[in-house]
C-alpha cells in the first residue's frame, strides 16, 4: 500500500475556513465518484479505507486507511499532487528523463495509484507496473477513482518484495518504493537486500526513489540513508526542515542512483513548492547519518508508528 502523507496545503496560506456542513460541488472529472455522493468508508484487506472529498478541489479525493492519509487523487487533473511527499516524488519523476519522454516505472505500493496517474498524464505511452498487495483496496480505487483506459498501468496483487524479486533485470527507468502497512514501512522492504533488488531492476542511468516516515531522533531515517548508501554511490534526501530537525513526524524522500543525481534542478523544483523543503546530499547527508548501520534482513525493523495526533 502506498505511504502516509501530509497535505501540501499545510503552511501554504490557503483559506481552509470551509466547514463540513458547507455544500460540496460535484466532481467534473472523467467519471468516478462525485463529491455529491459524499465520503465513502469501506473495509479493505489492510484496514478501514475512507475516501474523503477534498475541500478545495471539486474532483479530488483523499484516501485514508485506519485514519492515516495515504494518497490524494484529482480525477479532473491527474497531474495534481496534493501531498508533500507525492510532490517531491513528482519532481524526481519529472527529472528522470526529458519532458514527455515515456518511462518504464515499477511502483512498489499502489494506494490510490496517484503517482502512476501522474506518470501516465505527464509522460504518455509510459509502461508501468504497480505492486499492491491489498486487492480489495485496488478494486475500490478502480471502481470509485477509475483510471483512463489508455494508460498502460498494470497492477499486480502481490507483496512488493516478491514483485521486485521477479522484476526483469535492468528493465526499469525508475523504481519507486512507497510501501506502507498502515502508517509503517514493513521491515522486509527496508533492507540492503531489498535495495540491491531495486538496483538490479534499474536500467543503466535509472533511479531509485523511496518514501519513508520518521519522527523524533530520526534513527530510522539515518539507518535508511546508510542502507541505500551501501548499494548506491549517489544519494540525496528531500524533506521538510521541521522533519529533518525532529520537530514533527513526517515523510522523507530518498533518491539513489549509480550516476550523479540532478541536484541543482531538484533543488530549484523543491524551492518552488508551497511546503518548505530541503535537499540534503554529499557531506551534509553523510554527517546527518553518521554512525547509523545499514538495515539487513537479519536486523531490520519497521518504521516507527506515528505519534498520537500526527494527522490532525
Q: What pLDDT is stored for residue 252 in this prediction? A: 98
C-alpha angle 144-119-277 in degrees, rounded to nearest 5: 100
Q: How confident is the model at residue 183 (pLDDT cuts 50, 70, 90)?
A: confident
Q: What pLDDT is stored for residue 273 in this prediction? A: 94
Q: How confident is the model at residue 309 (pLDDT cuts 50, 70, 90)?
A: confident
Just give the CATH number of 83-288. 3.40.50.150
302: left (phi over 0), alpha (psi -120 to 50) or beta: beta
Grid cell of 160 as nine digits: 512488493
Residue 298 has pLDDT above 60, yes or no: yes
Q: What pLDDT is stored for residue 18 in this prediction? A: 28
Mean pLDDT check: name the lowest of 17-31, 94-108, 234-248, 263-277.
17-31
Mean pLDDT check: name the lowest of 28-37, 120-129, 177-186, 231-240.
28-37
Q: What pLDDT is stored for residue 16 in this prediction? A: 26
What's the whole-number mean pLDDT along residues 99-112?
97
Tell the residue number behind the cell numbers 518552488, with chain if given.
272
Tell the residue number behind the cell numbers 519507486, with chain if given.
176
β-bridge mates for residue 181, sequence order: 184
| pLDDT tens string 46-100 | 999 999 999 999 999 999 999 989 999 999 999 999 999 999 999 999 999 999 9
Q: What percent of the chain has pLDDT over 70?
A: 90
Strands 104-108 and 152-156: unpaired
| pLDDT tens string 18-59 | 223 333 333 334 589 999 999 999 999 999 999 999 999 999
Q: Is 18 exposed, middle or buried (0-12, 13-18, 19+ CB in 10 A)?
A: exposed
Q: What pLDDT is stored for residue 308 in this prediction? A: 84
- This prediction has a pTM of 0.91
Q: What pLDDT is stored for residue 152 in this prediction? A: 96
Residue 267 has pLDDT above 60, yes or no: yes
Residue 154 has pLDDT above 50, yes or no: yes
Taking the C-alpha atoms of residue 102 and residue 122, their distance in angstroms, rounded to an integer, is 9
Instruction: List the domain boundaries for the chain.
Output: 83-288
What's the whole-number mean pLDDT along residues 300-309?
91
Amino acid at each position: 500500500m502506498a505511504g502516509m502523507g501530509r497535505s501540501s496545503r499545510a503552511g501554504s496560506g490557503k483559506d481552509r475556513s470551509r466547514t463540513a456542513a458547507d455544500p460540496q460541488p460535484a466532481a467534473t472529472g472523467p467519471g468516478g465518484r462525485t463529491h455529491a455522493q459524499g465520503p465513502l468508508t469501506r473495509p479493505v484487506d489492510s484496514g478501514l479505507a475512507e475516501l474523503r472529498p477534498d475541500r478545495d478541489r471539486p474532483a479530488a479525493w483523499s484516501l485514508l486507511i485506519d485514519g492515516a492519509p495515504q494518497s490524494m487523487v484529482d480525477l479532473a487533473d491527474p497531474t495534481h499532487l496534493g501531498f508533500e511527499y507525492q510532490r517531491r516524488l513528482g519532481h524526481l519523476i519529472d527529472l528522470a528523463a526529458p519532458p514527455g519522454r515515456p518511462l518504464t516505472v515499477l511502483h512498489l505500493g499502489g494506494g490510490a495509484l496517484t503517482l502512476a496517474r501522474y506518470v501516465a498524464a505527464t509522460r504518455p505511452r509510459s509502461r508501468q507496473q504497480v505492486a499492491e498487495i491489498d486487492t480489495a483496496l485496488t478494486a475500490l480505487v478502480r471502481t470509485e477513482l477509475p483510471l483512463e483506459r489508455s494508460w498502460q498501468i498494470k497492477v499486480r496483487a502481490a507483496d512488493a518484495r516478491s514483485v521486485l524479486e521477479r522484476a526483469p533485470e535492468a528493465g526499469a527507468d525508475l523504481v519507486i518504493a512507497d510501501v506502507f502497512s498502515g502508517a509503517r514501512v514493513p521491515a522486509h522492504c527496508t533492507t540492503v537486500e531489498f535495495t540491491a533488488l531495486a538496483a538490479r531492476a534499474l536500467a543503466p542511468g535509472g533511479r531509485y526513489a523511496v518514501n519513508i516516515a520518521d519522527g523524533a531522533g530520526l534513527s530510522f531515517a539515518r539507518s535508511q540513508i546508510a542502507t541505500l548508501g551501501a548499494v548506491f554511490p549517489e544519494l540525496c534526501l528531500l524533506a521538510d526542515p521541521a522533519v529533518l530537525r525532529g520537530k514533527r513526524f513526517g515523510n522523507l524522500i530518498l533518491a539513489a542512483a549509480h550516476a550523479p543525481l540532478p541536484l541543482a534542478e531538484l533543488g530549484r523544483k523543491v524551492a518552488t513548492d508551497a511546503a518548505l523543503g530541503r535537499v540534503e546530499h554529499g557531506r551534509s547527508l553523510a554527517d546527518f547519518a553518521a554512525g547509523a548501520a545499514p538495515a539487513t534482513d537479519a536486523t531490520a525493523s519497521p518504521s516507527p508508528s506515528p505519534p498520537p495526533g500526527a494527522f490532525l
